[in-house]
Amino acid sequence: MIPHHTSALLISDLHLTPSMPLTAQRFFDFCEKDASQAESVFILGDLFEYWVGDDAGDRSPFQHEVKQALANLSNKVKTYYIHGNRDFLIGPAFLKKTGMTVLTDPALIEIAGHKYLLAHGDALCTADIGYQLFRGWVRKPWLQKLFLSLPIHWRRSIAKQLRTNSHANYERASHTAYQQNQIKTNVTTQACAAIVREYGADKLIHGHTHRPGHHQESLGNQSWQRWVLSDWDLDHPEATAPRANALLIDAHGVRAMDLIKA
């Protein structure tokens, strides 16, 4: 049975970390104020910059603050979560303490009488073969169990190194082959067509790519709509304009909310 709601707010890719206090504060404000506009909230992955295990979060004052904000949010509205590529190790202990309900990726839900297919989005970036191989490995339960058995400081060191390598590879590719990099880091039409066909949907919502927008797409005799959520960053205005948006879905349809101006 799929979740049914009369209205919903959807967010993604906040990448919360103590080093981005303005972004974190906007999230706390969202939980306290904005979320009450809808019956439900869906977080489509990458809530945190990284997650190395629920036990590591217990030792972090910042993560405790986020946990409390989510628990308060879940007491007011039904709150759902889909794992992202940065925080796929969020486990039962964290979910229980926050009151969130985890969804599979992708997940078919119904809002205001219409069906939507929700995903984080990284599995749809099928042009990046190297990443898809990496994703397949790190999602293996036995490898996750092995990683979570390591001392916390080892896990943090590994996560930091992976993030550093990923950023370096992205920067190098963006300077040497911009067009090719744009294709590799975006979803493919073929992957989107495959999942909307599999789930019998014609409305797809995801994050991950940091390319917010609304697209009308087709392949062969298939057609669908695709909405992309923005990432959140209010702490680096020198690099790009501050950004944080949500999608509000209700009886009036789907519309983007600019949470910078809200």
Q: Summarize the confidence of residues 138-161 as an average pLDDT.
A: 91
Residue spans of alpha helices (H) in 45-140: 54-57, 61-76, 92-98, 129-138
pLDDT at 162: 81
Give domain 4-258's CATH superfamily: Metallo-dependent phosphatases (3.60.21.10)
At residue 97 the predicted structure's pLDDT band, cuts being 50, 70 and 90, is: very high
pLDDT at 199: 96
> What is the pairing mode between strands 101-102 and 253-258?
unpaired
- Give the largest CA-CA distance in the chain: 52
Place of tokens 């509000």: 248
Q: Are 12 and 43 in contact (CB under 8 A)?
A: yes
pLDDT at 72: 96
pLDDT at residue 173 is higher than 60: no
At residue 14 the predicted structure's pLDDT band, cuts being 50, 70 and 90, is: very high
The per-residue pLDDT of the chain, averaged, comes to 90
Q: Summarize the confidence of residues 125-133 as an average pLDDT.
A: 93
pLDDT at 146: 92
At residue 2 the predicted structure's pLDDT band, cuts being 50, 70 and 90, is: confident
Closest CA relative to residue 42, chosen from 249, 202, 187, 262: 249
Round to whole Å and give the CA distance between 239 and 52: 28
Question: pLDDT per residue over 73-89, tens digit each?
Answer: 999 999 999 999 999 99
pLDDT at 257: 93
Q: Summarize the confidence of residues 56-60 as an average pLDDT.
A: 78
pLDDT at residue 48 is higher than 90: yes
Q: Residue 146: left (phi > 0), alpha (psi -120 to 50), or beta?
A: alpha
List the chain domain ranges: 4-258
Q: Which residues contact 181 (CB under 8 A, 6 or more apart)?
A: 170, 173, 174
pLDDT at residue 243 is higher than 70: yes
Q: For residue 143, what is the enclosing H or E element?
A: helix 141-148
Q: What percentage of the chain exceeds 90 in pLDDT?
A: 74
Place of tokens 């439900």: 40
